[in-house]
Every structure is written in structure tokens, then in C-alpha cells.
Amino acid sequence: MLCEENKEQAENPQWEDFDKQWKHVHDWRTYVTTEIRVAWFDIDVATRCLIISIAQEAADHEHWD
């Protein structure tokens, strides 16, 4: 199930740790807008899982040199 795979991250995306790093290779959090981050805990977990899945799809297609 989609949400089982992403549930832990959906419940605790660790935004603070993410913001402390400079480089984020293939990280779904790179593709989440500030507006969604602000509203993150107002969004139900199933929808957060979908957001993670979509954002991870974008992150998986990154090309780094």
C-alpha cells in the first residue's frame, strides 16, 4: 500500500534536519512547496503520502553531474 511505504515520513518529514543540509539528492522534500510545508499537519496522512509519492517521482528523475 502506498501510504505504508511513506507513512513514517508523512508523520514526521523532519523539515528542520532537511533545512540544515545544503545538498539534497533525490529527496522528495525538495519538491514540496513552502505553502504545503506550512499546512503539512493540517493535511490528512493519506494525502501527505500522495504528496510524498508525487514529489519522490520528481526527485527520482533528477540528473546530477
* Residue 65: per-residue pLDDT: 62
DSSP 22: S
Q: In the predicted model, what is the mean pLDDT of residues 25-36?
A: 92
For residue 17, the model assigns a pLDDT of 86
For the chain, the straight-line distance linking the first and the last C-alpha, in angstroms and rounded, comes to 33
Going from N- to C-terminal start, the domains of the chain cover: 2-60
C-alpha cell at 35: 505553502
pLDDT at 40: 97
What pLDDT was estimated at residue 19? Answer: 80
Give the H or E element holding residue 8.
helix 2-11
Rounded Cα distance between 59 and 6, Å, is: 15
CB-based contact 10:45 (threshold 8 Å): yes
For 5-20, the pLDDT digits (tens) are 889 999 999 988 888 8
> Which pTM value belongs to this model?
0.83
